[in-house]
């Protein structure tokens, strides 16, 4: 029996500063996962990933990450992705400064 598809977001690292980014529905990169496009169809998710991977002048390491729908937008379901939403872990800069 085939496994059911779990919702995903396309994520990568911004090429110039290394920050985690997510692909939004309007084809822009956002640093806020809640603004990412939540992909609920496997074929569409695969297509969006291929489109993202072609943008090598903007990002590095694009992949599909499991996510869930919330009232505020997509949210990570795995601790690795939750960790990436907070920014670098070596010292407070980037997203961590705002906390």
| Angle (nearest 5°) at CA 83 between 79 and 87 | 170
Residue 18: pLDDT band (50, 70, 90) is confident
Instruction: Tell which wins on pLDDT, 56 or 88.
Output: 56
Rounded Cα gap, residues 64 and 10, in angstroms? 5
pLDDT given for residue 90 in this prediction: 58
Q: Mean pLDDT for the chain?
A: 90
Burial class for 97, CB neighbours closer than 10 Å (0-12, 13-18, 19+): exposed
Cβ atoms < 10 Å from Cβ of 95: 16
Rounded Cα gap, residues 22 and 61, in angstroms? 12
Contacts of 82 (CB under 8 A, 6+ apart): 76
Read off the pTM: 0.86
Torsion from C-alpha of 92, 95, 96, 97, nearest 10 degrees: 70
């Amino acid at each position: 029996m085939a496994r059911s598809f779990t919702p995903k977001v396309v994520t990568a690292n911004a090429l110039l500063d290394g920050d985690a980014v997510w692909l939004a529905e309007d084809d822009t990169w956002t640093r806020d996962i809640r603004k990412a496009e939540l992909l609920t169809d496997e074929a569409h998710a695969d297509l969006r990933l291929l489109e993202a991977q072609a943008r090598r002048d903007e990002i590095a390491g694009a992949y599909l990450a499991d996510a869930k729908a919330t009232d505020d937008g997509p949210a990570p379901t795995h601790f690795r992705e939750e960790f990436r939403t907070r920014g670098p872990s070596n010292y407070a800069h980037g997203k961590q400064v705002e906390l």
